[in-house]
Chains A and B, each alone.
Chain A
Amino acid sequence: MTGSVRALARGVWGSRSGRLGAVLSGLVVVAAAVSLVWTPYDPTRVDPAASWAPVGTAHWFGADRLGRDLFSQVLVGARTTLAVAVAATAIAAVVGVGLALLATLPPRLVAEGVAHLVDVLLAFPVLLLAMVLAAVYGGSRWTAIVAIGVGAGIGLGRVTRGEVRRVLGADYVLAARAAGAGTGRIVRRHVLPNIAPTVWVQLSLILGLSVLTEAALSYLGFGTPPPTPSWGRTLAELQPYLTLRPLTLLWPGLAVVLTVLGFNLLGDGLREAGDPRLRERAVERSAERAGQT
């Protein structure tokens, strides 16, 4: 297993998009980690003297109206975003794979019921689901995590169901069944390992989606509550000054864009690394390039 993970990592690093995605995602992780031990300023500390301080050595990204340092806010915002995204993605993995299995394995009546339920639930956008939950339980980081996790998990379940069906129909599963393997064993030994590449790719995309949704929820006031810095909330607070102080919005906006881009490219890299056809094509392309030079 460790070897296959290592091979996957090599595969990701071998593709251009995977490499860029890994670097960008890594940057977010580093920013979040650094913010645990150091920020230039307390990101929530107001300082009237620094109100709208410009970009400079004192404030690398400038300061907002309350004089809060924007660089510190972006650093800590990375932590907030990453925490929500990772937790939501974990929930999505459990919900998605669970639904996919339930919608495929016998008894048939339950499987068909779950499959139709997933189709119906798929019609609810994640953001809408999150807003409903926030309206009922109040906006918080946990509301965002659960809403994004469940919402994205339903989508993952829909995609993964096909994969599970494909694996269950394979000859080796038939052989395992003939040899007396129970459903649990088949799922553990055959289904999960074989759907893993698809799930990993989907989860990396869900990470990006989670970042975007968390930012959107915080922007709308349903996500991470104040005073915890969050990119979406920072954007919302600065939005009225879009035309007056565009640079202040650049930083949190850029952080969201680069993070989503990073996770999506990482997903592309994972897909390429896990798909033999794409891998062969990549090898052919690099051979062609090598031949040209």
Chain B
Amino acid sequence: MRIRTLAATVAVAGLALAACGSDGGGSGGSGSGGGSASTGGRANPDATVTIGAVLEPTSLDITRASGVAVGQILLGNVYEGLLKRDQKGVVSPALATAYRISPDGRTYTFTLADNAAFQDGAPVRAADVVSSLTQVIAPNSTNPHASDLASISAVSSPDAHTVVLTLKERDSGLLFNLTGPAGVIVRQSATGLDGRPDGTGPFRFDSWRRGDSITLVRNDAYRGPKAKVARVVFRYLTDTNAQNNAVRTGQVDVGVISDNDLVDTYRGNPKFVVAEGTTTDKFTLAFNQDRGPLADVRVRRAIRQGIDKDGLIKVLGAGTRIGSPVPPLDPWYEDLTNIDRYDPAGARRLLAQAGHGGGLRLGLTIPNIYPPSIGDYVTSQLREIGVTVEVRRVEFPAWLTGVYTKHDYDLSIVDHAEARDLAFYVKPGYYFGDRSPQARDLAKAGATAASDADRNTALRGLARRYSEDAIADWLLLGKARQVARVGVTGYPTDDVSAVYDLSKIEVLKS
């Protein structure tokens, strides 16, 4: 789970695929807006769509691989779960056609689709579901997302089309978690998933040229609406300029271009469409509360007050201010940006009260996958309040080992990309080091709430406590930007669900 969070972090941090916006804001171009629905009639079903992606998965075994990069490619496209979620996080049936929850909230009964089949035509049986989910919840599970389903105590199948999940306690997040990588259904006794992903979705895995591209092809035997293109190629281009050049020269049809200035060059160009939207990329300045001056809440609050988040958003040209790890699309969102607002004088006072009026020296560890500008900005701002920051840019594996696992850091900047990740921060051993029993109680109350309203109240309280305790600073919520060739439509425009739905992409005949 821990790895999951962080690897996910990297993935979306690098805008793993095509982070884009709920506003669906197509601009420029001749009008076929980014991610807009099919115009019908002129679509080319034999088309190949090439998508410029940033972060390549390390493995295609979705039951073992960490990170959102693998999920974004395979989840919903090659693999399916009992349920699925859309760009807004709304849950709907997938392999299950219906589900029922017992009044005490501890028994979930799913009815499976009659005609669901794996890609070789073998039908999906209840035994496959039981096997898949049992492996995730097993005590020796190697699934990095196992904690998503930790509330399940047993999985059974009274008949070939029914699956029953029995819970240890009520879990208000279970349905959402079943739509994630922990909930994918693989064939009973499936092996070799890294080399040959085998799911039930609208696409089949075709090939993986490591370091270059991953290709999926349409699953013509899919039980639902067929994909609208014959082939999708994810091409990995980590460099901003390479991605920009690939879009501009037509080597990719849809590309991630996060830089404001570069995106601006496409606006008004009739050959391209710019699509912008929200993400769940929470660029987080983590405080190590386990050691040194950051164990003192006054120091943490001073640092929060010393950073002008609006200024950062202005120089980056994109992003939204958030005062907690909750993005505005989440049902328990509350505007907490008034807590520890930018106030350098107040920050200096707090530091003086904490005994650091003469200055403070801290280390800042940042994975080198991020551009240096965010670290430079934070360093400069903190110097203004008397905090000298020594920046260490490290490879991501070194960050994972040093910061995440060994907690050897003072400050760290990482993009926490996962949706609805509030409860992660109270997990024992989490790298923030928060030990607040009240926060744990609120997280528990949110997870076991009997109603959505109760859950939202508890999680709203949890987010407020995080913010008031200054367990971290939330620098900004990232904005997603894609640039697409005119004539390509239906690509996802939001990056809030860690799923990149390819099934609606189509290419219009020119």
Contact = CB atoms under 8 A, between A and B. Distances in A.
B209 interface: no
Interface string A219-240: 0010001110000010001011
Contact of B379 (A226, A239, A241, A244): A226
Contact of A46 (B262, B315, B368): B315
A45 B391 contact: no
Contacts of A240: 240-241, 244, 259, 261-262
Given A240-B244, A240-B262, A226 B375 contact: yes
B311 interface: yes
A233 B379 CA distance: 16
B433 to A, nearest CB: 25
Given A237-B372, A240-B240, A227 B391 contact: yes
Interface string A42-68: 001110100100000000000001111
A268 B240 CA distance: 40
B381 interface: yes
Contact of A244 (B265, B380, B383, B391): B265
The majority secondary structure among interface residues of chain B is helix
Given A51-B315, A67-B315, A241-B261, A221 B393 contact: yes
Interface in A52-90: 65-68
Interface in B374-412: 375-377, 379-381, 383-384, 391-394
Interface string B364-376: 0000100111011
Contacts of B262: 240, 244
Contacts of B240: 240
B391 A46 contact: no
A44 B373 contact: no
Contacts of A67: 315
A66 B315 contact: yes
Interface string B29-40: 000000000000
Contacts of A44: 376, 379-380, 383
A244 B312 CA distance: 21
B382 to A, nearest CB: 11
Interface string B229-260: 00000000000110010000000000000010
Interface string A186-204: 0000000000000000000
B380 A46 contact: yes
B265 A226 contact: no
A237 B241 CA distance: 12
The majority secondary structure among interface residues of chain A is loop
A226 B312 CA distance: 17
A44 B391 CA distance: 13
Chain B interface size, under 10 / 10 to 19 / 20 to 34 / 35 or more: 20 to 34
Nearest to A236: B372
Nearest to A45: B380
A226 B381 contact: no
Given A239-B241, A240-B240, A46 B393 contact: no
B280 to A, nearest CB: 25
B315 A65 contact: yes
Contact of B315 (A48, A138, A237): A48
B308 interface: yes
Contacts of A225: 391-393
B14 to A, nearest CB: 15
Contacts of A48: 308, 310-312, 314-315
B391 A226 contact: yes
Contacts of B383: 44-45
Nearest to B240: A240
Contacts of B381: 46
A226 B315 CA distance: 18
Contacts of B241: 239-240
A214 B241 CA distance: 23
A53 to B, nearest CB: 12
A46 B261 contact: no
Interface string A128-139: 000000000011
Give the interface centre of A48, A138, A233 by most chain B CB atoms within 10 Å.
A48
Give the interface centre of B310, B380, B394 by most chain A CB atoms within 10 Å.
B380
B368 to A, nearest CB: 6
Contacts of A65: 261, 315, 373
A44 B379 CA distance: 9
Nearest to B380: A46
A138 B265 CA distance: 36
Contacts of B377: 46, 66
Nearest to B312: A48
B498 to A, nearest CB: 27
A67 B311 CA distance: 10
B261 A244 contact: yes
Nearest to B398: A138
A233 B380 CA distance: 17
A237 B373 contact: yes
A138 B310 CA distance: 33
A225 B372 CA distance: 10
B372 A46 contact: no
Interface in A116-144: 138-139
Given A46-B381, A241-B261, A244-B261, A227 B315 contact: no
A241 B241 CA distance: 9
A46 B311 contact: yes
Interface in B460-486: none
Contacts of B311: 46, 48
A221 B380 CA distance: 20
Nearest to B373: A66
Contacts of B393: 139, 221, 225-226
Contacts of A68: 376
A240 B391 CA distance: 23
Interface of A: 44-46, 48, 51, 65-68, 138-139, 221, 225-227, 233, 237, 239-241, 244-245
25 contacts: A44-B379, A44-B380, A46-B377, A46-B381, A48-B308, A48-B311, A65-B261, A66-B315, A66-B376, A67-B315, A138-B394, A139-B393, A221-B393, A226-B372, A226-B375, A226-B393, A227-B375, A227-B376, A237-B371, A239-B241, A240-B262, A241-B261, A244-B261, A244-B262, A245-B261
Interface of B: 240-241, 244, 259, 261-262, 265, 308, 310-312, 314-315, 368, 371-373, 375-377, 379-381, 383-384, 391-394
Given A65-B261, A138-B392, A226-B393, 18 more contacts: A44-B379, A45-B383, A46-B376, A46-B377, A46-B380, A48-B310, A48-B315, A65-B373, A66-B315, A66-B377, A226-B391, A233-B372, A237-B373, A240-B241, A240-B244, A241-B261, A244-B261, A244-B262
Top 7 closest A-B pairs, CB basis? A48-B311, A46-B380, A48-B314, A48-B315, A226-B372, A51-B315, A46-B377
